[in-house]
Amino acid sequence: MKFTIVIEKSEDGWYVGQLEEVPAAISQGKTIEECKANVLDALLEIFDTNRELIEVEYRGRNVIKDSVELVG
């Protein structure tokens, strides 16, 4: 899956980026490449946090875990 990142150069010279598909994935960097890497790190943090929240929510319950792939 690919994501679209929107990057803006701030008045103080930093690049601020955000994913269109996951607006909570937002970060900054001194360069565009650093900004992109930091936004991807933010996305992974969101995934990890959500995974932990789901584990707590469903702890002790009879659930099925499987994987799906988004293509297209």
Q: Which DSSP symbol is given to 39?
A: H
Residue 44's domain comprises 5-58
- Cβ atoms of 14 and 33 within 8 Å: the answer is no
Q: Note whether residue 36 is domain-resident.
A: yes
Q: Note whether residue 14 is domain-resident.
A: yes
How buried is residue 25: exposed, middle or buried, by Cβ count under 10 Å (0-12/13-18/19+)?
buried
Q: What is the pLDDT of residue 72?
A: 76
Number of domains in the chain: 1
Mean pLDDT, to the nearest integer, of 40-68? 96
Please report, for residues 37, 41, 55, 62, 69, the alpha-carbon distance to residue 34 in angstroms, rounded to integers and kept in the order given: 5, 10, 32, 42, 27
Q: Note whether residue 70 is domain-resident.
A: no
Q: Note whether residue 37 is domain-resident.
A: yes
Q: Note whether residue 29 is domain-resident.
A: yes
Mean pLDDT, to the nearest integer, of 21-39? 99
Task: Give CA–CA dist 16/26, Å, rounded.
Answer: 7
Q: Note whether residue 69 is domain-resident.
A: no
